[in-house]
Chain A
Amino acid sequence: MKLKYNYRKLLSIIAIIAIWELLCDIGYINIKILPSPYVVLLTLYKLIISGSILIDMLTSLWRVIVGFLIAVFLGGITGYFTATNEKTRDFLIPIIEILRPIPPVAFIPLSILWFGIGNAPAFFLVAFGSFFPIYTNTFYGIKSVNKIHIDAALCLGASHKQLVFDVIIPAAMPFITVGLKTGIGVAWFCVIAAELVGAQSGLGYMIQLNRLTLQSENVIAGMVMIGVIGFLMSKMMVLIQKKLVPWSNRTL
């Protein structure tokens, strides 16, 4: 039953690619702007063999990791303190709510002005974009900690440290991991957007450069790579989630 289901899912993908290939072969599609799947695959293979796309990939990944870790740090801290301290909440929430509705890509021009071209604007954009989902989920996670758990911990003699690290944070973890999962998706989106204009390396830069030189097969090969990496990153977050929340039988 399951096999049949997976086979059906695969079928639609195969059908699309087959139609695409066919339309290119009979000359219905201008292969200058949309090369055939076969050409794309061949190009991707060549780019991998030569290693050039791998370098772009690693560059983008590095930017995502650094920016994302900054966001985890800042989002976690802000989420924790706004949830537990009323003064911090009143002070910080207005700032956060003013910045939140501005899409991270709207910060690209400013980030280039501030940080120039290269890693720095990408770090900034990634951190800025993934901050919000991480912050929000940490905030609600800590807000939703059941009072009975706090009471139980206190009457068992828990110290402040034990209360924070053994009760509040693990209790909030199902929410926090949702924030991390959303955050990594936003981070990947932001790094590609940043590289389209504010960098001279990375996968975003690579597809932009190939557009200028009219090598659409390279553009699509780069896009395939971006898709694959994005997919793998979200799969990896599911594994991390299982590791951080081994006690939850829910899959979020």
Chain B
Amino acid sequence: MVKFELINISKSFVKNDNKCKNETLILNDISLKINSGTFVSILGPSGCGKSTLLSIMAGFIPPSKGEIKFNDIPVIEPKPSRVVIFQDYGLFDWKTVQGNVEFGLKAKNIPKLKRKEIAQYYIDLVHLKGSENKYPHELSGGMKQRAAIARAIAIEPECLLMDEPFGALDSQTRNILQDEILEIWKKTQNTIVLVTHDEDEAVFLSDRIIVLSNSPANVIIDEDINLERPRFTEIRLRKDFIEKKNNLWQSLRK
């Protein structure tokens, strides 16, 4: 079943410098279909517009041209069926971990006691037990992203849109969270679209990798990753893994 359908998506931004209108094309005619339940990575050099593409998929910004559908319905605004996980976490600084996780549940009008129970389940799931009453500024980067993940999956979205979610973390924490996101995905079975510039991360996590060229971005590679699951960190040492990674590395630097 097709979850996301992008048809000839283009996006340009208008800049006004010195009275002359400057239109910059960011995304150039991108068409994609993303199947339900798959883990898809969008890989591209920094600044190529992959985050812009994710913002369009989330419904934060409209495309300049083209059409985008989620479950066959046009995307016009953000919806809790596709939750975004941001690189900078986007946690509400004025709420505790518990309060953050309950936010989306409150929006769904779930009664207070039930809300607490659900939040507790997801806080445990991301291994944040004991930090429920901490404020974001009291958490490390890894813990913040765990809280953001718990907040997102607590409302049981059909799709998670992740915008370089582990980009601000040290490599050890990143690897741990990559393992955990696969664990979580196995339980939730939802569709995940991950934007990243890290080919190792993309190969390790994905069923399918879409590589964008430098701006204006266009799809240059669209390939399936047929490594078996479950994947553990040792897979990174395998020849086929390294080969895939190197191929992507080279295509990114063309």
Query: Interface residues, chain A, CB within 8 Å of chain B?
Result: 148-149, 151-159, 162, 166-167, 170-171, 173, 245-249
Residue of A148, A162, A246 touching B107 (CB-CB under 8 A)? A162
A156 lies within 8 A of B83 (CB): yes
Residue of A148, A154, A245 touching B88 (CB-CB under 8 A)? A148
The segment from B12-20, B73-81, B199-207 found at the interface with A is: B73-81
Task: Give chain B nearest CB distance to A24 CB in angstroms.
Answer: 53
Closest B residue, CB atoms, query A153:
B103
- Cα A158 to Cα B60 in complex, Å, equals 14
Is B95 at the interface (CB under 8 A from chain A)?
yes
- Cα A177 to Cα B11 in complex, Å, equals 41
- Cα A184 to Cα B145 in complex, Å, equals 39
A155 lies within 8 A of B94 (CB): no
A159 lies within 8 A of B107 (CB): yes
Residue of B77, B93, B107 touching A156 (CB-CB under 8 A)? B107
Closest B residue, CB atoms, query A244:
B94
- Interface residue count on the B side (C-beta < 8 Å): 30
- Cα A245 to Cα B137 in complex, Å, equals 13
Is B151 at the interface (CB under 8 A from chain A)?
yes
Interface of A (DSSP majority class)? helix
A156 lies within 8 A of B137 (CB): no
User: Given A162-B106, A162-B107, A249-B137, are A154 and B92 also a contact pair (CB < 8 Å)?
Assistant: no
Task: Give chain A nearest CB distance to B244 CB in angstroms.
Answer: 32
Is B217 at the interface (CB under 8 A from chain A)?
no
Residue of A151, A162, A171, A248 touching B78 (CB-CB under 8 A)? A151
Residue of A151, A155, A170, A173 touching B79 (CB-CB under 8 A)? A155
- CB under 8 Å from chain A, chain B span 64-114: 77-80, 82-84, 86, 88, 90-96, 103-104, 106-108
- CB under 8 Å from chain A, chain B span 122-152: 135-137, 151-152
Is B211 at the interface (CB under 8 A from chain A)?
no
User: Given A167-B92, A171-B94, A173-B94, are A155 and B82 also a contact pair (CB < 8 Å)?
Assistant: yes
Closest A residue, CB atoms, query B152:
A156
- Cα A247 to Cα B58 in complex, Å, equals 29
B83 lies within 8 A of A155 (CB): yes
Residue of B60, B135, B152 touching A247 (CB-CB under 8 A)? B135
Q: Give the chain B neighbours of A153 by CB distance below 8 A.
A: 92, 103
Most chain A beta carbons < 10 A, residue from B77, B78, B83, B94: B94
Most chain B beta carbons < 10 A, residue from A152, A154, A245, A249: A152
Closest B residue, CB atoms, query A173:
B94
Q: Give the chain B neighbours of A151 by CB distance below 8 A.
A: 58, 60, 78, 84, 86, 90
A-B contact pairs, 6 of them (CB 8 A): A152-B92, A155-B59, A155-B82, A156-B107, A159-B107, A171-B94
A247 lies within 8 A of B94 (CB): yes
- List 4 tightest A-B contacts by C-beta distance, closest first: A157-B80, A156-B104, A152-B90, A157-B107
Q: Give the chain B neighbours of A173 by CB distance below 8 A.
A: 94
Q: Give the chain B neighbours of A159 by CB distance below 8 A.
A: 107
Residue of B60, B90, B104, B137 touching A157 (CB-CB under 8 A)? B104
Is B194 at the interface (CB under 8 A from chain A)?
no
Closest B residue, CB atoms, query A163:
B107
B107 lies within 8 A of A158 (CB): yes
B92 lies within 8 A of A155 (CB): no
Closest B residue, CB atoms, query A147:
B60
Is B40 at the interface (CB under 8 A from chain A)?
no
B94 lies within 8 A of A156 (CB): no
- Cα A170 to Cα B94 in complex, Å, equals 7
Other A-B pairs beyond A154-B60, A166-B106, 9, CB < 8 Å:
A149-B92, A151-B60, A151-B78, A155-B59, A155-B84, A156-B151, A157-B108, A162-B103, A247-B96
